[in-house]
Amino acid sequence: MLEKLPMTALYGGVLIGLSATMLLAFNGRIAGISGILYRLLFSHLDAYERSWRLAFLVGLLAGGYMLLPIEFELRKGYSSLLLACSGLAVGIGTRIGNGCTSGHGVCGIGLLAGRSIIATLVFIVSGIITVTILGSFTG
Amino acid sequence: MQRVIIALLAGIIFGAGLVLAEMVNPIKVQGFLDLFGNWDPSLILVMGGAVTITLLSSRFILRRTKPILADRFHTPVRSLVDRRLILGAVLFGIGWGLSGYCPGPGLINAMINPTEAMVFIPALIIGGWIGQTLSAS
């Protein structure tokens, strides 16, 4: 099991934590990706509120791009129906639950926000149940 | 302008972290959630690393009366654990497990696995819009 614990996972996590720290310390904002995306798409924002969110998302893609190509094998032939249902559930869930892995899992827990601690436990357990059920269908 | 540059840099660091940690690999994420199957624990290190940093830094940051470049902290004000929060987290977990994508890695996959991203990202946005409509009512 230990060989499955690459240090890059830890370094990547530290980078994510530093990013959230930076946004909070300088701008006073939460690095929650779903919230940033939905506010940008669905809310009427002034120029600054729009620009910083857009800049963060552009940065997210650029930062990811800098470390490409990836070394893992790409998943091929995965069910489009599952992908579509997944996207819908993630979209509705993170909007009504006000956050995803980043907002609740990283920033919220860091702030010791009770809502975020509960939400994170719930979505991890819900994810585990989903993958377990999915696995029993696909073998 | 300074604050927009900070947001850009924070985004770059976040995106690099997600790729370095292999959070953008949905097979790995599903492996982490496959607790009763062939469990892959490495994402504990990702969450652990990230949360250790935010737990430590938040103590110092929130001692300040305001952020370095802004006039106040936009931290969550709500503290009530309500049905919406739980229902949202349950739904999000289901979606996360079905594909292995949460929002950030889903977006970055436009550059890694566009075949999957062109289904996941539009569905994510439509879902977000449905959630927005439900929340408003």
CB-CB contact of A99 with B50 (8 Å): no
Q: Taking CB atoms and an 8 Å limit, are B45 and A5 in contact across chains?
A: yes
Cα distance from A5 to chain B (closest Cα, Å)?
Answer: 5
What tens digit of pLDDT does each residue of A1-59 get? 555 578 999 999 999 999 999 999 999 999 999 999 999 999 999 999 999 999 999 99
Closest residue of A to B131, CA-based?
A92
Name B59's Cβ contacts closer than 8 Å, sequence gap at least 6: none
What tens digit of pLDDT does each residue of A49-97 get? 999 999 999 999 999 999 988 888 899 999 999 999 999 999 999 999 9
Cα distance from A139 to chain B (closest Cα, Å)?
Answer: 10
pLDDT at A139 over 80: no
Number of compact structural domains in chain A: 1
Question: Measured between alpha carbons, how far is A29 from A56 in angstroms, rounded to an integer?
Answer: 11
pLDDT at A127 over 80: yes
Name the CA dihedral angle for B26, B29, B33, B35, rounded to a multiple of 10 degrees: 110
A47 touches chain B (CB under 8 A): no
What tens digit of pLDDT does each residue of B44-62 get? 999 999 999 999 999 999 9
Percent of chain B scoring above 90 in pLDDT? 91
Cα distance from A46 to chain B (closest Cα, Å)?
Answer: 13
Full domain range(s) for residue A48: 2-71+78-138
Question: Measured between alpha carbons, how far is A42 from B57 in angstroms, rounded to an integer?
Answer: 31
Identify the residue among A2, A53, A80, A88 best suited for mutation to test binding to B, counting B beta carbons within 10 A and taking the highest. Answer: A88
Give the pLDDT mean for B76-89: 91
**Is the link from the previous residue into A69 a cis peptide, with omega within 30 of 0?**
yes
Closest residue of B to A108, CA-based?
B76
DSSP calls for B71-118: SS----------HHHHHHHHHHHHHHHHHS--HHHHHHTTTT-HHHHH
A11 touches chain B (CB under 8 A): yes
Nearest to B103 by CA among A31, A44, A43: A31
Name the CA dihedral angle for B110, A17, B101, B7, rounded to a multiple of 10 degrees: -40
Residues from chain B that touch A126, judged by Cβ atoms under 8 A, are 89-94, 96-97
